[in-house]
Structure 1
């Protein structure tokens, strides 16, 4: 039997726990998003908008509760991170989140902090999520990615970049979006808005970090499939959104990074991408780590880990292509 003292004690415990959680959250450093320099992808309400629009949510979660996750993105934007000494290279960074949220700090802001010292201008994409009621849900993230590439190219002089040196770097589901962009950059998935939409959306190179590259196989990656496609079992549709199948001789050079002990996206996704690139004679560099798990982003591998300097490896790889 539960008496009154037990109930009061439990309530007190919940109060203490809530106070402790609030204190811990208050102790976390603030994450500035969006950065001071940013731009919207669409001049008005994005195409295919539901009514009402999604309600934006900012959530502290992920690695030690210290990450910033975005949900309910109603107006997608691109954050701009400039290096002190730009060299013309630029990267559209596409965070992951299983198409259920956008891990904007761990796989966005932190990545920018690692790449800008190398002279690379970084653009972090906060894209719309397919489960928020948008029309043509499966193409909503791709529309945002294409539009971002075109707007960056249109503003190349303002950003101090070379549009021929603009690539992408995608993580997990953001790697899926990046791989989709590199193979379907020319697909018309939205009606042109302005002159920028006459520019190419093709990336000059593509970095894919623990990417999802197929939705056609069962496994842990099925969560991204469900969120993107709405749980369809249509094999043709699932194949269409499996970008590894679209790799051909026109695919830009690819950089791959994946850990063997990744329990969220099996390393086979990157190995299959490597094989597809080799078969199509696409330039490719692959780094397969023994350990690292999933979601290490720009800075969350432990010090001394063999993959810890991976942003430097990526920066050197891009420099080797444009040196």
Structure 2
């Protein structure tokens, strides 16, 4: 499973590899994730391109939909032999991977890694972040969501279908009274879409879990894609989500900052001002929308860090964001 090649997770249809490293995919974006002090000993030697550590393979897995996806048309893509094994592509059946809290603090986290909607990063934005949060008392569920450009019908709804279903399953299964959505980059777009689109009817209910709310109690948006405005967006994420020529209505529908209202949950935003892939204007647009709606929000803009820095860049202040997020979530 940890060989440098494409692998399938038995019974899920997942392929653990993309065709490009995330740095190449996001046009030279940012440094690899750095360890927070709490987990420095275990994370410092990890390769952000994989393989995934034993803790990933030991994490209990939940199949979101079983054998019946809410969309059709899945078309797996061929992978080159040198594809990084720590990333996911060809997601035929989306899954949740649980990292239970060391000492539960009453909050569960639905974690959505990034990858431009063409891969899902299982390493620093997945496993490393899940371990760091679990060590702080959070019951973490990492979502490996379907990728909209892999042939699915109604591609613009596919990630949100998985996110809504996932948060409902977390609510149904976790003992934590509060569930927080968190996402990086394109996963940040998905988390933001969940904060504003939790009430959208994007799939037919399956079971009792689907009677539960899909609204997060709060959200952490880490260097997120927010807007679909071509002046500030990440064009690759938009193309994967909406296709090559979306009209104005499709663009507006999947621009979360345009749908913030008083019911949007509180949000915590993190961005580096030198991000070359996803401009910081994405977080600034979301922050402005939250403030206009009177929604509690906190934002941290770091001078340096680039894109894809995960838990932080070695030696830079952006390595403090997880502690800040933890304190924000714990405040009365």
TM-score by length of 1: 0.83
Deviation at 1:54, TM superposition (A): 2.8
1:68 and 1:106 in contact (8 A); partners too: no
- CA distance in structure 2 between the aligned counterparts of 1:236 and 1:119, rounded to whole angstroms: 41
- CA distance in structure 1 between the aligned counterparts of 2:233 and 2:261, rounded to whole angstroms: 26
- Residue 309 of structure 1, aligned match among 315, 320, 329: 320
Q: Is 1:41 the equivalent of 2:52? A: no
- CA distance in structure 2 between the aligned counterparts of 1:319 and 1:265, rounded to whole angstroms: 29
- CA distance in structure 2 between the aligned counterparts of 1:35 and 1:135, rounded to whole angstroms: 33
- CA distance in structure 2 between the aligned counterparts of 1:31 and 1:245, rounded to whole angstroms: 39
- When Rg is computed on C-alpha atoms for both structures, the one with the higher figure is 1
- Residue 129 of structure 2, aligned match among 83, 88, 111: 111
Q: Show structure 2 runs of 5+ residues with no match.
A: 1-46
Q: Any residues of structure 2 matched to 1:11-160 within 5 Å, and which?
A: 30-32=52-54, 33-50=56-73, 54=76, 68-156=86-174, 160=175
Q: Is 1:272 the equivalent of 2:285? A: yes
Tell me the equivalent position of 2:218: 205
Deviation at 1:219, TM superposition (A): 5.1
- CA distance in structure 2 between the aligned counterparts of 1:203 and 1:274, rounded to whole angstroms: 17
Q: Is 1:185 the equivalent of 2:198? A: yes
Distance 1:30 1:282, change over 3 A: closer
Q: Is 1:166 the equivalent of 2:179? A: yes
Distance 1:182 1:59, change over 3 A: farther
For the residue of structure 1 that corresponds to 2:131, the secondary structure is helix
For the residue of structure 1 that corresponds to 2:76, the secondary structure is coil
Relative contact order (alpha carbons < 8 A, sep ≥ 6): 1 or 2 greater?
2
Tell me the equivalent position of 1:20: none
Distance 1:37 1:60, change over 3 A: farther
Tell me the equivalent position of 1:5: none
- CA distance in structure 2 between the aligned counterparts of 1:135 and 1:255, rounded to whole angstroms: 32
The answer to which structure has the higher helix fraction is 1
Tell me the equivalent position of 1:227: 240
Q: Show structure 1 runs of 5+ residues with no match.
A: 1-24
2:232 and 2:282 in contact (8 A); partners too: no
Deviation at 1:83, TM superposition (A): 1.7
- Number of equivalent positions: 284
Tell me the equivalent position of 2:307: 294
- CA distance in structure 1 between the aligned counterparts of 2:79 and 2:215, rounded to whole angstroms: 31
CA offset digits 1:213-252 (Å, max 9, x no partner): 1112245611111110011241111011100111111110
Q: RMSD of the alignment, in Å? A: 2.2
For the residue of structure 1 that corresponds to 2:225, the secondary structure is coil
Q: Is 1:240 the equivalent of 2:263? A: no
1:56 and 1:71 in contact (8 A); partners too: no
Distance 1:252 1:109, change over 3 A: same
- CA distance in structure 1 between the aligned counterparts of 2:192 and 2:53, rounded to whole angstroms: 28
- CA distance in structure 1 between the aligned counterparts of 2:164 and 2:102, rounded to whole angstroms: 27
